[in-house]
Amino acid sequence: MLFNGTGLSLPEQLEAVKRAGYDAYEFWGWESKDLDELAALQRRLGLALSAFCTTGVPLVDPRRREEMLDGLAASIGAAQKLGCRTLIGLAGQTLPDLDRATQLESVVDGLKAAAPLLEKAGVTLVLEPLNTLVNHKGHFLSRSDEAFAIVREVASTHVKVLFDLYHQQVTEGNLILNATNALEWVGHFHLADHPGRHEPGTGEIHYGNVLAAIREKGYNGYCGLEYAPTGGAEDSLRQFLAQYNTP
């Protein structure tokens, strides 16, 4: 999102990330990327890849379980080539022909089936709830408490939650308690402000307090910046790092 509309190539985007003072980056889909070229670019710039999305086969559909697992296996292979230890997974859109209980069971069973693949590879899948009020109408999973209940039932240290502070502010608020009360099950954070999904500091979320709280509770993983900047992307990255110095 940061560089949408800038016209910068991926190498130029990563060079901007490095110039701004960061040592890691993430992206959404991997299938269209030249992984060998990307791995070489990471080595040249000294950047780590913090996370990217697995293939978009929905967890809610039990009829597509094998397709989901095949896509996950391919994504794990891509992660290993790029030195990435975190994959982002989504439940998918709510299916009209299956009741909610069946779809929830499919999400849990799919993640249980995925867990041995992830554990063997040393890769963690983070399940991301998305808000359905503004951006993702019809998405099956929106609440953090339901996401935490799912990963607890799966009971693997390689299946956790991606806690997107923007999505959860839209959905439920109460960010500090909702995140820190289950922090051992959080594998990644995403950051943007609300309203507008712009950089932290442009909306209603007090990021100074939120980030201090998760640091105090012991979170030392990555926080991905998934926002649309109101000004220049590289300038916003510099400003964020100077203001918040996140984990």
The one-letter code for the residue type at 119 is E
DSSP state of 139: B
Active site annotation includes 128: yes
Active site annotation includes 234: no
**Partners of 48 in beta bridges:** 24
Cα separations in angstroms, 80 against 126, 163, 165, 243: 16, 23, 28, 33
CA gap 192, 179 in Å, rounded: 15
Catalytic residue, chosen from 26, 199, 226, 234, is 226
Q: Do residues 111 and 75 lie in contact, with contact meaning Cβ atoms separated by under 8 Å?
A: no
Catalytic residue, chosen from 26, 128, 199, 234, is 128
Transcribe 108-156 into DSSP letters.
HHHHHHHHHHHHHHT-EEEE----TTTT-TTBS---HHHHHHHHHHHT-
Residue with structure tokens 């709280």?
213
Catalytic residues: 128, 226
